[in-house]
Amino acid sequence: LYFPLYWACSHRVARQWCLLIGCATFHYYFAGPAGVLPVIVLGAITYLAALSRRRILCALAIALAVLALVFYKYTLFLSSGLLGWFSPELGTATLVQAKHWLPSAPPLGISFFVFEFVHYLIEVRRGSEPIRRPMDFALFTIFFPSLVAGPIKRYTQFIPSLHAGLARVELADVAAGAQRIALGFCKKVVVADNITLAINYLDMYGTVRVSAQSWIFLAVVAVRILWDFSGYC
């Protein structure tokens, strides 16, 4: 339903709003309010720090993004593991407090958001031109095809591609995109997911005992990981 609507938009501005609304809807639906708010805050800070082009503000924004990632994804590990190793009482107390403040699950795609914000700020600090249009930065942030599982985008490549795609929709691009999606679907669902079933079966019934079988098992796991990543990327 979404792609024909995007293709039907005849004007560049209408197509851009269609893309932004689609990305925002996708993110809100899967992440919810608790997952959207941290990204909005970090995104606004990153956008403004990059516009200023001041090294200290960019460095502070990078530090804040990394701290947010550590807070959402590693607080429980640090509380129960690191602090608990030094002092079980302190680790337990910190763990209780952390569970009180943390959401039930980390914000959707928080790792990819942080990595892209850090990449963006570092590139600006090195002299690259910042993204000046708020809508361009918003689309760079919540572009839904790479939102959940990457790959991490370089904004110097993404923004020109975005403008080219908004300017015109060509049948050749639609066909290439559909072919790429179909190939990725086959890699991920047909190959990788079925290999996963075989791995789980072999692991559950303990059939991997002999040394040669262990190496084959390891190779199969590697192929599964390769095709899984390759498929959804």
Identify the residue whose tokens are 């530090």: 63
pLDDT at 95 over 80: no
Burial class (CB in 10 A: 0-12, 13-18, 19+), 65: buried
Q: Is the pLDDT of residue 80 over 90?
A: no
- Band the pLDDT of 33: cuts 50, 70, 90: confident
* The token pair that represents 165 in the structure block: 């795609």
Q: Does residue 104 surpass a pLDDT of 80?
A: no
Give the integer Cα–Cα distance in Å for 99 and 155: 35
The pair of structure tokens assigned to 82 is 């690191």
pTM of the model: 0.78
**What CA–CA distance (Å, rounded) separates 130 from 54?**
12
Query: Residue 145 in contact with residue 112, Cβ under 8 Å?
Result: no
Contacts of 173 by beta carbon, 8 Å cutoff, 6+ apart? 165
Q: How far lies 6's CA from each of 42, 81, 114, 164, in Å?
A: 28, 48, 28, 14
Query: What does the pLDDT look like over 113-140, one tens digit per residue?
Result: 999 999 999 999 998 999 999 999 999 9
What is residue 210's DSSP assignment?
Answer: S
Closest CA relative to residue 139, chosen from 15, 52, 34 = 15
And the tokens for 67? 């701290």
Q: What's the confidence (pLDDT) of residue 87?
A: 64
Band (pLDDT 50/70/90 cuts) for residue 34 is confident
Q: Which residue has the tokens 């190793």?
A: 85
**55-77 vs 88-101: helix axis angle to the nearest 10?**
110
